[in-house]
Amino acid sequence: MDLPFDPAIAAHNAFQLAQRRKELGADGASAAEWEAAFSASAGAEATQAYRRLLTLGDRYPTARAFQEFLIYSTWQQAAEDPIAEHFQQGLKLCDRFLARMEPSDARNLTQVRALRVSFLNGLGIQEHDEIAEEHDRDAFKGGD
């Protein structure tokens, strides 16, 4: 799927924002170490770092920037190793993020929705996105 943004850059930006906001508290240093390993390597080392980051994400489900980082990182994993597990994980992360969407997240929501469609396509699923359509309708009308 052609995306109108670079998921690697978006992941980097989201991770930096999570660090600035101190979303992960005392786990921020470990997250930085794992993110560096994930970004700088490939194969088993990157996969291990990615799994550690996912585990951390489960512990911090309301860390918005970090959750967004995980979505972009999962898309990178799925692009590198297109197995159902990565697409399913990405879909789960997108749904969790979108369930807590905020009006100030308009750009992020557009990007996460695009990745959600990509994850669905990777699983061979075509889904009608009523939430996105309602958001688009409301955006033109100024609200509910």
Task: Report domain extents, the chain.
Answer: 7-141
User: To which residue do tokens 């989201």 refer?
Assistant: 14
For CA atoms 42, 45, 51, 57, give the dihedral sign. negative
pLDDT tens by residue, 22-51:
999 999 999 999 999 999 988 888 899 999
Maximum alpha-carbon separation in the chain:
49
User: To which residue do tokens 């972009």 refer?
Assistant: 72
Q: Is the pLDDT of residue 71 over 70?
A: yes
Q: Is the pLDDT of residue 3 over 60?
A: yes
- Coil, strand, or helix at residue 83? coil
Whether the CB-CB separation of 22 and 54 falls below 8 Å is answered with no
- Please state the rounded mean pLDDT for residues 102-111: 78
Cα–Cα–Cα angle for 80, 88, 58, rounded to 5 degrees: 100
Q: Is the pLDDT of residue 78 over 50?
A: yes
pLDDT tens by residue, 130-143:
555 554 555 445 54
pTM of the model: 0.83
Amino acid in position 47: T
